[in-house]
Amino acid sequence: MPSSAPKQPSDDLLTGFERTGSKQGELRAYLTTAIAGSLYVFDLTFHAGSHHAVFYSELQRLTIVALVILIGIVVIHREVRVHWWLAALFALPGLQFVYRLWTPTTNPSRILSGIDDALTVINLLVAPILLWVTLRLLAPEYFTLPSRKLKMAVVGTIAFIGVIGYLAGVYNYTTLTCQDFIVAGDDPPANCLHHRHP
């Protein structure tokens, strides 16, 4: 007589790691953190490889995140403790945005350009702290992973995808054409392919 025992799932990805029991959350945290980080890093490194620049959209994302956190600090200030210097760091990307709104865009004086350059350097210096706080908020699962191996695997996966993104940008002509960049609203890089693949 056939056994009436329930059939074990044959694929952990399709079932959301149900079979793994207590390891379910840990394995999901590894994959979701690696996916989220890789998507952002690929975009950043691809543009660095194809255009040798950081696009304004990436800088604006940092500004938006910083602004949302600042608003959040104001809203929940009675429930949380935040150092004043950390809140000041989150104000810096918005400060540069406001500064650019108030200064002329054509033929700015050397002083105005120097202030803007200084704000850019300051934002680059504080970016790692802002990114650390953002990661703590958006990917808390990573920091609670008990396995050092999985933590290192997340970092390694994201770094590997970053290298692939950079190389895909440098050698964009192997997979994309100039028209692909134009349709996406980007300036085509200098080495893009001008005709379609056969």
**Can you give the chain as a three-state secondary structure string?**
CCCCCCCCCCCCCCCCCHHHHHHHHHHHHHHHHHHHHHHHHHHHHHHHHHHCCCCHHHHHHHHHHHHHHHHHHHHCCCCCCCCHHHHHHHHHHHHHHHHHHHCCCCCCCHHHHHHHHHHHHHHHHHHHHHHHHHHHHHCHHHHCCCCHHHHHHHHHHHHHHHHHHHHHHHCHHHCCCHHHHHHCCCCCCCCCCCCCCC
Rounded Cα gap, residues 88 and 69, in angstroms: 11
pLDDT digits (tens, 9 = 90+) for 119-172: 888 888 888 888 888 888 888 888 888 888 989 999 999 999 999 999 999 999
pLDDT for 177 beyond 60: yes
pTM exceeds 0.95 for this model: no
pLDDT at 13 over 80: no
Residues with Cβ within 8 Å of 151's Cβ and at least 6 positions away in sequence, in order, are 142, 145
Q: Is the per-residue pLDDT at 18 higher than 80?
A: no
Rounded CA gap, 159 and 165, in Å?
A: 10
Highest mean pLDDT among 55-64, 121-130, 171-180, 189-198: 171-180
166 and 46 in contact (C-beta within 8 Å)? yes
Residues 6+ apart with CB under 8 A from 170: 49, 50
Mean pLDDT across 177-193 = 91
Tens digits of residue pLDDT in 71-101: 998 998 889 898 999 888 889 888 888 888 8
Angle at 42 between CA 49 and CA 90, to 5 degrees: 100
pLDDT band at 63 (very low <50, low <70, confident <90, very high): confident
In 3D, which of 74, 26, 47, 153 has the Cα closest to residue 17?
26
pLDDT given for residue 51 in this prediction: 92
Q: How confident is the model at residue 178 (pLDDT cuts 50, 70, 90)?
A: very high
